Chain A
Amino acid sequence: MAVTNMPPSNYIRTSPDELDRIRSRYTKRSKWTFTTVLQKVLFWALIVFIVLYTLFPFYWAIVSSLTPDVDLYVYPVRYWPQNVTLEHYEAVFENGGFMRALLNSTIVSFGTVILALFFGTLAAYAMGRLRFRGRTPVLYLILSMTMFPAIAIVGSLYTFMQRFDLYNTLHGLIIVYLTFSLPFIVWVLTNFFRAMPGELEQAALVDGATPLRALWQVLLPMAIPGLVTTGLLAFISAWSEFLYALSFTINDDARTVQVAISQFTGNTQFELPFAKKMAAAVIVTVPLLVGVLIVQRRIISGLTAGAVKG
């Protein structure tokens, strides 16, 4: 039969070198003509512009935070510092309210992430790996929670928190933050668990392991990179949260760092506080940037799988 007489498929496969040669026949040879040079220049100008555009504001914050006031409030501005000073950072670190807020934010963000990761991983395992009735509606509910408008419940939450003595407390904020971090983590990790190969887990189950043991010993070790990335994203959103923190705190006891820097003022009415504001802004941002740079590759894929939250 004709089919059996066909040559094996590798007979008709073209080698990569050969493919390149064929391709180059169809591609114009690049010459250093005026147009190609112009194209190259324009292309690189565009790249430089993009990088400048994305990085300049933060660069400017760093420069301003390091510049003495006498050099800062001048025209035309100085694009790099001629005299470097750390006085603004010292002033920020000596500001008791700000330091307390930094501590508050750390407690609230870590508390939120640890709780959300713990309960979120278990729930995501159930949604991604176990069969039970009602799983799809639950998943829809959780997905819709990732889009929930916080402003719609600020008022009633306010009374709720006052009634249960949660107003102006750190654990109150943690509980409220779970409304966005928990659904986010469940949603991202459910997709993550679903995409995992099932053989190892099946093998463990056949050997008599309980589902939770299979999760703990087989799936979790494989999931650690995903957990770290998702945890970092949840940390960023808790650390950056503003509306709840502004509405549900009244003083240093629970004020988070975002609220504190938004209310930063100079020592006197006449002092321009921008250098100190920039120093505080840099302090608040650097931990996030370090984390993001460490796991940057996974962040992009994690976000596309989960939510496109900005």
Chain B
Amino acid sequence: MSSDQQTAQVTSVVEAEESRAGRAYRDRGTLARQQERLGWLLVVPPLVVIAVIALYPLFETFRLSFTNERLASAREARYVGFENYTDMFADDQFWTSMKNTVIFTVSSVALETILGMVIALVIHSNFRGRGLVRTSMLVPWAIPTVVSSLLWQWMFHDTYGVINSILKQLRLMPEDKFLAWNADPSTALGAVVAVDVWKTTPFMALLLLAGLQVIPGDVYEAAYVDGANKVQQFLHMTLPLLKPAILVALIFRTLDAFRVFDMIYVLNGYATETMSIAIYTQQLIVGRQRLGEGSAPAVIIFICVGLMAFIYTRLIRVEEA
């Protein structure tokens, strides 16, 4: 093969490549359109699920809240205006549930954040067996909520519960006292908070720990050289740097705590002392079959959660690409 031929061949290969690239370049318009079509095709299934099984029922809930519909009833339902809402606002049980929910949410989220912070700071220091401690903290989180309520129900038992037994052995409780922590009106709400704190604090700690670990160590060295003590370091450096992580965790936990259902329901059923707004709603709808009346508190819950979620999405901002 002569060098001329070789050159010619190379040129033709190059030309072919170039024309292919040119075609690809010219095809970019169609490629973009293909991507557009494929993209929509792939997101259709989740969108259909969301529309049919979440958004449509949500719309129905709004509509039903203005009717006197009942479950499994042949009676024709009619529109009753705001009657369900006025009845609800006149119902003491609604306000008790609301109060319980707010107390539960504020105290459990506050305790979880503070305790979680303490635990995260402790684990953040280097020590032997740190991995094991971290692993053990995943356990309460992985346990189903129903199960954790059952565990604590047994531990709270008045006669044979381990908590009363420990307190008596430590002489912190008189021998003849039998306190059913989750049933006694004076401790019931506190007991519910305790279960939630136990289940969620370790996880909160792991989240904050993840936040702590991305703070570079030399920031602390600089502060140390400048003579800042540990407390100053925590208040002026750790806390501000952790603020985004704390905020996200706080709002998510608040959303979760506000709609608490299973933990309290399994521990105490429909007991008034610990009834949350979600339990109040579920009892009206499923327990008492009053679909219309029960839809009113459901709407209230949705509005509260929606507001909190709105703030949350503003805070973390989905990155625009």
Contact = CB atoms under 8 A, between A and B. Distances in A.
Contacts of B154: 60-61, 64, 274, 277-278
A157 B136 contact: no
B313 interface: yes
Given A76-B168, A247-B286, A308-B253, A132 B148 contact: no
Interface string B53-71: 1101110110010000001
Interface of A: 23, 26, 43, 46-47, 50-51, 53-55, 57-58, 60-61, 64, 72-77, 119-120, 122-123, 125-127, 130-136, 138-145, 147-160, 175-176, 178-179, 182-183, 186, 194, 206, 211-212, 236, 239-240, 242-243, 246-247, 258, 261-262, 272, 274, 277-278, 281, 284-285, 288-289, 292-293, 296, 299-301, 303-304, 307-310
Given A26-B225, A54-B139, A60-B162, 6 more contacts: A130-B38, A158-B291, A182-B50, A211-B38, A274-B157, A293-B138
B261 interface: yes
Interface residues of B, number: 102
Interface centre among B38, B50, B145, B157 (most CB of A within 10 A): B50
18 contacts: A26-B224, A47-B127, A58-B143, A119-B49, A126-B40, A132-B35, A153-B57, A155-B64, A155-B294, A157-B57, A178-B49, A179-B49, A212-B38, A247-B286, A272-B160, A288-B142, A309-B256, A310-B256
Interface in B228-269: 248-249, 252-253, 255-256, 259, 261-262, 265-266
B46 A142 contact: yes
Interface stretch (B3-11, B181-189, B202-210): B202-210
Nearest to B58: A153
A123 B259 contact: no
Contacts of A119: 45-46, 49
Contact of A156 (B61, B168, B265): B61
Interface centre among A136, A143, A151, A296 (most CB of B within 10 A): A151
B140 to A, nearest CB: 5
Nearest to A215: B42
Interface centre among A47, A175, A309 (most CB of B within 10 A): A47
A111 to B, nearest CB: 14
Q: 9 tightest CB-CB pairs across the interface, nearest first?
A: A132-B39, A156-B60, A240-B144, A126-B42, A242-B262, A308-B252, A153-B57, A152-B302, A156-B57
Contacts of A178: 49, 53
B110 interface: no
B194 to A, nearest CB: 11
B13 interface: no
B133 interface: yes
B136 A54 contact: yes
A121 B181 CA distance: 46
B87 interface: no
A86 B97 CA distance: 41
